[in-house]
Amino acid sequence: MKIGFLFPGQGAQTLEMGKDLYDSYSEYRKVYDKVTKLTGIDIAKITFWENSTGKLNETKYTQLAILTMSLAILELLKEKNIKADISMGLSLGEYSALIYSKVLSFEDGVKVVQKRGEFMQELSPKGTWSMAAIIGLDEKILKEICNSIDTGFVTLANFNCVGQIAISGEKEAVNQAMEKAKEAGAKKVVELKTSGPFHTEKLKQASEALRKELDNVTFHEFATPVIKNIDGKKYKQNDDIKDILAKHIISPVRFKESIETMLDEGVDTFVEIGPGKTLTSFVKRASSNVKLYNINDKISFERTVNALNSNS
């Protein structure tokens, strides 16, 4: 059995995500306490008890909330001696993978993600922005649709899996592209829970600010391999990680290629760690010969631990 950990990104958040884990395990709660001390943000309060304020969907809080949940689940898995041979994440989730692989310390990783969320929210250009997933439409056709929209900016942003591409841009332009995609035969179009022109050139200012922030961070050797979004290949020890992570937020996410790399590495067991089940659904489209698990609540945690222990 070769295990790959998958870490979700922004858009996967849900109200009270992981609350039963928080209520049940002291080690899980300790991670939330640690993040709060590092950032000055009561992330448990935002995730579990401030539902009416909408803070959880603000980028500067969303990213920190998802990261914290993933890191807290990792702490529980560590206690059960369940480890990954390789890992990757979707966009924000790449930071969880880098922390897991010990390239980033817990402290540096949390602080960088806090700044990343702030930059992506506060340095996003003025306007109303949106993202949408387009399912069942050829890349060439979708690119032509985006190029045909003359009322605003919209472009291809995330290559998620076979048959699914996300677009990003100005809300009205994204809406028009969604309608044209339907007319062109898309099986499904879904607006995503994001609030900026993520993974496009429009976030250049945020990218530059993050690059400066990364100069304060120490990167270490990889304890386990990590696949990077920017090209779907494994990080090399001599890669310029600062440059890659800065470009990450203005470059398309190559998650389809990342999945293919994991499969080529011989991964036969995928565990999605954090809110949702989206990433394992992407893997399922790529291969029917792998085992898929999700950990996003107490039941799924216990089920996954039992399954992995029985297979080991």
List strands edge to edge, sheet with 129-135. Answer: 154-161, 164-170, 129-135, 188-191
Mean pLDDT on 65-74:
98
Mean pLDDT on 81-105:
97
Does residue 267 carry a pLDDT above 60? yes
Which residues contact residue 224 at a Cβ distance below 8 angstroms, ignoring those fewer than 6 apart? 83, 84, 85, 86, 87, 100, 101
Among candidate residues 199, 207, 251, 258, the one labeled active-site is: 199
Does residue 312 carry a pLDDT above 70? no
Does residue 67 carry a pLDDT above 80? yes
Which tokens go with 306? Answer: 């039992």
Specify the CATH number of the domain 3-124+202-311. Answer: 3.40.366.10
Mean pLDDT on 136-145:
94
Q: What is the mean pLDDT of the chain?
A: 94
Provide the pLDDT confidence category of residue 50 given band limits of 50, 70 and 90: low
pTM: 0.93
User: Which residue type is seen at 96?
Assistant: S
Among candidate residues 70, 87, 91, 124, the one labeled active-site is: 91
Cβ–Cβ under 8 Å, residues 155 and 146? yes
Position 53 scores a pLDDT of: 58
In the chain, what are the domain boundaries? 3-124+202-311, 129-194
Mean pLDDT on 91-97:
97
pLDDT digits (tens, 9 = 90+) for 156-199: 998 988 889 999 999 999 999 999 999 999 999 999 877 778 89
For residues 167 and 154, give the distance between their C-alpha atoms in angstroms, rounded to a whole number: 7
220 in active site: no
To the nearest 10 degrees (0 to 180), the angle between helices 106-122 and 26-39 is 60
Provide the pLDDT confidence category of residue 46 given band limits of 50, 70 and 90: very high
Position 52 scores a pLDDT of: 54
312 in active site: no
pLDDT digits (tens, 9 = 90+) for 213-260: 999 999 999 999 999 999 999 999 899 999 999 999 999 999 999 999
Mean pLDDT on 107-122:
96
Mean pLDDT on 25-39:
98
Q: Which CATH class is domain 129-194?
A: alpha beta
Position 196 scores a pLDDT of: 79
Does residue 61 carry a pLDDT above 60? yes
| Pairing of β 164-170 and β 188-191 | unpaired
